[in-house]
Amino acid sequence: MTVVLKAFIAIFAPIGRVLVAAMAAIGRVGIFAWTTISRAVRPPYYPARFFEQLMQIGWFSLPVVGMTAIFSGAALAQQTFTAGSRFNATSTVPAIVVLGMVRELGPVLVGLMVAGRVSSAMAAELGTMRVTEQLDALSTLRTDPYRYLIAPRLLAALIAVPLLVLIANAIGIFGGYFVAVYKLHFNAIGYLATSRKFLTETDLQMALVKSAFFGFFIALMGCYHGFNTQGGAAGVGRATTDAVVSAFIMILLSNMIITLMAFG
């Protein structure tokens, strides 16, 4: 009986260790987020840092977001037309492009592109400050790093990413319109009328809700991994990689959960 029990434990012990480690990591991230939010609502505030991060996250991400959106919208229109032509359903191109961009492709692609650009930068910057003891110097100077460094990033991402998603949706829909009208020979007025018919306020609201969550997770993962960096230059590299990967996972997971809750 003892041998069987030991064999049973040997099989499931690694699974248990992974689950415990995962729960511990989730707990640490939750405590980090709660600490930041609880301190951010109390003064002192740093508006200059907030607007600086708003520019870094929002304005400087526009080129890559715009290119991603217009290429995705154009490709979606072409693929929808190709698939619809097999079933005499090419008239669905405007509806699928507008709903696909607004509900899924716009928020998710913007989230992933911004995560790749912003989460890595946040983790690298904060990680470098950690290993060079600049974060300790801030605390010595009675400056709370949560309020001064992390809170402005979280708030800026929470605002900038939804704005980027709105812009990306418009650009992506235009990309689909351009391909449909000038390559696939759709009627321009009819295409716009069909797109407007199928696009509802609920779709726009859902895109904003998703993108707000994405922005929060992008900044949270970048700040968390950078703030807790250990091990010198190699540790900064690991923190940067972990920040991007974890941000991607959180974006895709939260997207699935919100989609199932909203449209399931």
Whole-number mean pLDDT of the chain? 89
Amino acid at 95: A
Residue 146 has pLDDT above 70, yes or no: yes
Report residue 202 as tokens.
């609920």
Check residue 133 and report its DSSP letter: T
| Contact indicator for 230, 182 with CB cutoff of 8 Å | no
> Whole-angstrom Cα distance, residue 13 to residue 172?
48
Give me the mean pLDDT over the 136-162 stretch: 90
pLDDT exceeds cutoff 80 at 6: no
- 5 pLDDT band, cuts 50/70/90, is low
- Is the predicted pLDDT of residue 248 greater than 70, yes or no? yes
pLDDT of residue 41: 85
pLDDT at 61 over 80: yes
- Mean pLDDT for 168-186 is 91
Q: What would the DSSP string read from start to end of 44-63?
A: ---HHHHHHHHHHHTGGGHH
Q: List, for residues 155-165, the tens digit of each pLDDT value.
A: 999 999 999 99
Peptide bond into 44 cis (omega under 30): yes
Confidence at 1, pLDDT banded by 50, 70, 90 = low
- pLDDT value of position 142: 85
pTM of the model: 0.90
- The stretch 124-132 carries a mean pLDDT of 91
Query: Across residues 210-230, what is the average pLDDT?
Result: 93
Cα-to-chain-centroid distance, residue 258: 13
Contact 112, 250 (CB under 8 A): no
